[in-house]
Structure 1
């Protein structure tokens, strides 16, 4: 291969790589905005904006073991909180966003300042009609490792009863 063709190929690869990286960064910026606006909508009790940023088949997993909310159930559960004028207030203090090579799916994790102190949120978004929407969200309370024993003791009876009930109605 002659020198000219080799240089051309190298420059093309460098150029395309730069476009890909800039594209990924733009997607991450858009996703960051969606997540921030989603949390803001809850804080401002804007029901339509909040659920408008989720897919119709979106799922929200809450901190309670029984909180596996499909979109319609989550809307029903959440509506009274939004109707009161303030649902909940989560503010990200740290967020990591990852985008698929095709830029049609993304996943993230975030550390949140909440009324429950620090919580961890994570989830999946997909691009729908050119807009990022939340498909799946998981909220968990961040427990320092040195406090796990006390937390486990505090929830032992509740979890034992729930596990027994769930084993009876196993769905998988």
Structure 2
């Protein structure tokens, strides 16, 4: 019984210290990107667009989909209003930081309603918060299947 009590107290003690540890810039960027994708899955328009920089670009899978933030927000609002935007689950993500930790770029592999897609983009730190500045979404097609598309 004493061992169990000691173990519980030790876990509580050490968890308290690790819980207060500072997140690295890559961890913060990863969390922000997960929150961004989650906001779309929840159809939370405000949360989704709050995580994009004021002057940002979203390039979708269709050749016509090259939007500045305001145009993208206008185009996508009906989907959010219906309670169904899009749902992307991260399979893999690589994040790269500029030395000053004010700009980062990333690529990610996503499970989507369209199948496997790749996202890539640039994030910038604005007023201490990471925001999506430029995002490109592409549908992944195996080279041997490209003629079928």
TM-score category, normalised to shorter length? 0.7 to 0.9
Give the TM-score of the pair, scaled to structure 2.
0.84
Q: Which has the higher helix share?
A: 1
Indicate which of 64, 88, 91 corresponds to 1:90.
88
Give the TM-score of the pair, scaled to structure 1.
0.73
* CA–CA separation in structure 2 for the residues paired with 1:150 and 1:43: 30
Alignment gaps of 5+ in structure 1 = 1-22, 152-172
Runs of 4+ in 1 over 6 A off after TM superposition: none
Matched, 1:109 2:107: yes
Relative contact order, CA 8 A, sep 6+: which one is greater?
2
Q: Which has the larger radius of gyration?
A: 1
Indicate which of 39, 45, 55 corresponds to 1:47.
45
Matched, 1:150 2:148: yes
Provide Cα deviations, 1:42-76, integer angstroms capped at 9, x if missing partner: 00000000000001111000000110010110000
Alignment gaps of 5+ in structure 2 = 1-21
- The two structures, once aligned, show a CA RMSD in angstroms of 1.1
Provide Cα deviations, 1:9-54, integer angstroms capped at 9, x if missing partner: xxxxxxxxxxxxxx9x700000000000000000000000000000
What is residue 31 of structure 1 aligned with on the other side?
29
